[in-house]
Amino acid sequence: MKITVCELPDERKAFAAAWDDLVEHVHDANSGLVVLPEMPFSPWFAHSDRFDRSVWAAAVRAHDEWEHRLRELSPAVVLATRPVDFGNERYDEGFLWEEPVGVLSMHAKSHLPDDEGDREASWFDSATAEFIPIEVRGLRMAMLIGCEMWAPRGYDAETVDVLAMPRSGDRVGFENCLQRARTLAQQAHAYALSSNRSGDFGGQAWIISPEGNVLGMSNASQPFLTMDIALRATKVECRHFDVFAY
C-alpha cells in the first residue's frame, strides 16, 4: 500500500494552497492512506491558558466545513484529528475517513500537556485512556495524538498494522519524539506514520518501520512523503465504529 504523510502550514491562506498541492500529490502517487497533522483545518490555539469559546467554536466550524473536502483525497483512507463537543465536554478526537462511509470516530486524546505555551488541558477534556485498534480494509489501525506518544501505556498489547501519530509541534524536541516513535513502532509491531504542522511547529513528518527504522521524512522543500510499504490486508471482517465512548 502507498502511504502519504505530510507537513502542512498553520497560516490559513498558505494551508489552502498546500492542500491543493497535497491533493495533486496523493492522486499522482495513487496513495491508499493519508495521515494529516493534528486538527489540520484550523489555526492552532492551545498555546493560551485562557479558554475562548469563540475561538473554539470557530475551530469546530472550520473542521465541519472542511470535512466534505476529504473526499478530494479519495479513494485513500484519511487519518487526522478534529475538535468536537460532547455535551458540556470538549475533545481532540482522532478520526478515520473513507468513502462512502465518511468520518468515523477512532480515538480521543487522553494525555494533555499543561505547560507554558502548551495549554491543551485548558481547552480539552481528557478522554478515558482506551487504546483499541479499528479494522478497516482488513488492516488494524490505531492512533496516538501528539504528546500521547509519552503516555505510560498504548498499543503494545495489541497487534497493529498502522500506528498514526498526528502532531502539532514537538513539545520535548524533535529528536526525542522521533526516538520515542521508533520505540513505539517496535512495541506495537506497526508502521508508525506521523504528520505535523510546518514552519514554527517543526514539520518533519515520518514513516517508521515495525523494526523501528526511519524509512523516510519530509522537509520544508519536500513537504509530502509517499512510500510503498508492505501492508497486506488479511481476510478479516472489518469492524467500523462510528461512536466513541468518552
CA distance 219 to 51: 33
For position 171, what pLDDT does the model report? 82
Q: What is the pLDDT of residues 227-241, one digit of tens each?
A: 999 876 543 333 333
**Can you tell me the mean pLDDT for 92-113?**
94
For position 126, what pLDDT does the model report? 93
The yes-or-no verdict on residue 59 having pLDDT over 60 is yes
Type of residue numbered 12: R
Q: Over the Cα atoms of the chain, what is R_g?
A: 16
Pairing of strands 162-164, 191-194: parallel
What per-residue string of b and e applies to 216-226 under the rule 16 or more CB within 10 Å gives b? ebbeeeebbbb
The yes-or-no verdict on residue 2 having pLDDT over 90 is yes
Domains defined for the chain, CATH in brackets: 2-228 (3.60.110.10)
The yes-or-no verdict on residue 205 having pLDDT over 90 is yes
Give the residue carrying C-alpha cell 478526537.
93
Length of the chain, in residues = 246
3-state secondary structure of 122: helix
Q: List alpha helices for the chain, DSSP H.
A: 12-29, 53-67, 174-188
Grid cell digits, residue 145: 495524538
Task: Give the bridge partners for 6, in sequence order.
Answer: 224
**H or E element that contains 5:** strand 2-8
**Can you tell me the mean pLDDT for 61-77?**
96
**Can you tell me the mean pLDDT for 31-42?**
98
Question: Between the CA of residue 120 and those of 5, 117, 146, what are the distances in Å?
Answer: 24, 9, 11
Listed residue (36, 31, 231) closest to 139, CA to CA: 231
For position 232, what pLDDT does the model report? 60
For position 128, what pLDDT does the model report? 87
Listed residue (121, 142, 39, 125) closest to 86, CA to CA: 125
